[in-house]
Amino acid sequence: MNYYSEHINNLIEELERLPGIAAKTAQRLAFHIVNMPPEQVNALASAIRDAKEHTGHCRICGTLTDAEVCPICADPSRDHRQIMVVENSRDLAAYEKTQKYSGVYHVLQGAIAPLLGIGPDDIRLKELMQRLQGDVDEVIIATNSSLEGETTAMYISRLIKPTQIRVTRIASGVPVGGDLEYIDEVTLLRALEGRVEL
C-alpha cells in the first residue's frame, strides 16, 4: 500500500533489508532521515559508500579492514605464534574488547554447515593450514558453540592434529548457540582462560 511517496517507500524497503530492522523501525528511521539536515544525510550516505568501497579483507587473517594487512596482523607486539580461529570479524572484535588477548586471529568467514551446503572448502581453512606452515605454537579454536561452530571446531582439530601444533578449544560456558559478540567480556575471558586441549 502506498501511503507515502515512492521515495520514502524505497528508503523504508532498503532499511528493512538490514538485520534487526523490523518494519516499524525501518519506517521510524526513514522518517528520521528525511527530516535530518541535508549535510547530515550526505554524511551518512557517504559514510556507507566509503566503508563499502574501502573495506576489504586482511591478506593474512581475513578480517575486514581497509588496509592490505590489518592493524592486528601488522602489530609486532602481538604474539604471532598464537592464532585464535573465529567465525567472523564481529567475534574478533568481541575478543579484542577484552583487551586481554595478545595473539593474532584467523577469520574463517563462516562455519561448516552441511545442511546449508557450506562445506570445509567454503570457509578459509586452506588459508589457515598455509599459515600453520610458519612458526605457530598454538591454535585456539573459538568458533561459536552452535552445531555449526562445534562441527567446524572438530573438523579443524582433526586437520591440525597431524602437524603436532597445540590445538585448544575455548571452554564451554559460552551459552549454546550464542553468538560470541553478544557475550560479555568476563564470560569471554573465562572461556579463553579455561580453554581445553583437543
Decide: 59 and 69 in contact? Cβ < 8 Å: yes
Under the binding rule (CB under 5 A), the answer on residue 61 touching Zn ion is yes
**Interaction pattern, residues 149-168, with Zn ion; x per rule: CB under 5 A:** --------------------
**CA angle (3, 9, 14) in 5-degree steps:** 155
State which of residues 11, 12, 70, 167 lies at the interface with Zn ion (CB under 5 A).
70
State which of residues 60, 85, 136, 170 lies at the interface with Zn ion (CB under 5 A).
60
Under the binding rule (CB under 5 A), the answer on residue 92 touching Zn ion is no
Greatest alpha-carbon pair distance for the chain in Å reads 65
CA-based R_g, the chain, Å:
20
Please tell me the chain's helix, strand, coil percentages from 3-state DSSP, rounded to the nearest 5. 45, 15, 40
Shortest reach from residue 136's CB to Zn ion, in Å: 15
How many angstroms separate the Cα of 169 from the Cα of each of 62, 156, 198?
20, 10, 7
Q: Helices in 85-198 by DSSP H: which ranges?
A: 89-98, 125-131, 147-160, 185-193
CA 53/CA 3 separation, integer angstroms: 34
State which of residues 11, 73, 112, 183 lies at the interface with Zn ion (CB under 5 A).
73
Shortest reach from residue 189's CB to Zn ion, in Å: 22
Query: Which run of H or E residues covers position 48?
Result: helix 38-54
Shortest reach from residue 17's CB to Zn ion, in Å: 29
Shortest reach from residue 25's CB to Zn ion, in Å: 33
User: Looking at beta carbons only, is 73 or 111 nearer to Zn ion?
Assistant: 73
Under the binding rule (CB under 5 A), the answer on residue 58 touching Zn ion is yes
Under the binding rule (CB under 5 A), the answer on residue 86 touching Zn ion is no
- The one segment of 25-33, 52-60, 118-126, 168-176 that binds Zn ion by CB under 5 A: 52-60
Site residues for Zn ion per CB under 5 A: 58, 60-61, 70, 73
